Amino acid sequence: MTTFAAVDLGASSGRVMAGRVGPGVLQLTPVHRFPNEPVRAAGTLHWDILALHRGVLEGLRRAGPVDGIGIDSWAVDYGLLDASGALLGNPVHYRDSRTDGVAAKVAATIPEDRLYARTGLQKLPFNTIYQLVAAAGTPQLEAARQLLMIPDLLAYWLTGERGAEVTNASTTQLLDVRTGEWATDLMATLGIRPGLFARLRQPGTVIGPVLPEAGVGTPDVIAVGSHDTASAVVGVPAGSPDFAYISCGTWSLVGVELDAPVLTEASRLANFTNEAGVDGTVRYLRNVMGLWPLQECLREWGDPDLPGLLRAAEAVPAFQAVVDLDDPVFLPPGGMQRRICERLGREPGRAEIVRCIMDSLALAHRRAVRQAEELSGRRVDVVHIVGGGARNELLCRLTADACGRPVLAGPVEATALGNVLVQARAAGTIGGDLSAMRALLRETQHIARYEPRGDEAAWQAVERRLGG
């Protein structure tokens, strides 16, 4: 039996989980949770990266002796190092407004179809490529000598070793989707220095031992699928390749697992992305707004009883109110209830607002699953929901109804489990491919099943209402 620490950093909180792995055994124990609260200073929204580092160190101390450490986080954001290796300021949050209008500026230099053919990435206004173009000419970027994505930065502080794990690197829109290497000519065209980017490394690579000064022992830090969605997809307990996954939290990442990218014009126009997965797979998916609107409403309401609100929402008639969650108006923090009401043209009560978000999210899941199936040619027999959304029974039932396919919900901690499984394989505790790791998940984790029971005509009608 071996124990691995999974450091999993989300957009609103971080945690360290201890995973015990052995023959027929895969157990997770929460060790430490800590907030991830952005800070606005001088008009810019930043991540408090030092507070996150402190939380990681405290979690590793509480975990006690472990056989390895893996780190995953959200995508696209980065830290800049100077020539001495010191961090140049707090990383900027992807929800900061500095990238407003930058995508159009980039498209004037590199047409969107050409950029998609090269990188396979969906157009999101906060992609790393747009952040770097927005930062062009700033003293901080001029002084920088190295760019590290968030998990790579934290791994560097633990080990002193620099690198770029490929699943997170693939979210920058600066990686060649066909070769798996940095697209240095594309960088140069946009005035981005290729020398900023570290050497790529694959999940399962041993980065190095923790430095003694960290005070948490000297286990190896192991590269995992450091984009949290990459680890979450490893943690999908699929029994066959004919599945779609929804990694549901602040965002819903909806897609299928492929062996090769889909780079058609139809795929680009549908805003699907081809991100690197573990073992050379492609995460063909689309970002859906996820539970962010609900989280923001709950925050505005003073964090009321969510189970009670969901029960009240279930009693609200279906489709009484729906919105298009892909509307960029829902992206910024603050004022979420007001923006929903503006879109509806009235001010419903809290239960109806929650039902509106649930129906609208299930509808977005339906649209993305069906598009993924159509664009990729991969048949979808079952939909797996993993992450925090797997706890939401109303959302899981509605998603099964909307998609017209069974939903298997769980594990909730798919990201940490995927993180631990890649570490365990690298350490030789377990063997095999993704199928073998997923078999261990099915053997050891609780999974709930929801059968479709909805009225297909009703879903089609509400889809037409939203212009879908």
Active site residues: 228
Residue owning tokens 């290729």: 194
Q: What is the CA radius of gyration of the chain?
A: 21
Burial letters 129-163, b for 16+ CB under 10 A, else e: bbbbbbbeeeeebeebebbbbbbbbbbbbbbebbb
DSSP-assigned letter for residue 137: T
Burial of 108 (0-12, 13-18, 19+ CB in 10 A): exposed
Phi, psi at residue 111, to the nearest 5°? -55, 145
Q: How far apart are CA 303 and CA 305, in angstroms?
A: 7
CA distances from 50 to 46, 55, 165, 205, 248 (A): 11, 9, 21, 25, 27
Print burial letters for 318-342: b (CB count within 10 Å at least 16), e (below 16). Answer: bbebbbbbbeeebbeeeebbebbbe
At 20, give phi and psi (nearest 5°): -100, 130
Tell me the three state secondary structure of residue 197.
Answer: strand
Instruction: Give the integer Cα–Cα distance in Å for 179 and 176.
Output: 6
- Length in residues, the chain: 468
Strands 25-35 vs 13-22: parallel, antiparallel or unpaired: antiparallel
Long-range contacts of 377-380 (CB under 8 A, 24+ apart): 378/241, 378/242, 378/256, 378/258, 378/284, 379/242, 380/242, 380/243, 380/244, 380/256, 380/405
Beta strand segments in 267-335, E = 273-276, 282-288
Angle between helices 414-426 and 434-444 (to 10 degrees): 130
Strand partners, 19: 4, 28
Q: What crossing angle do the helices spanning 350-376 and 306-314 adopt, rounded to 10°? A: 80
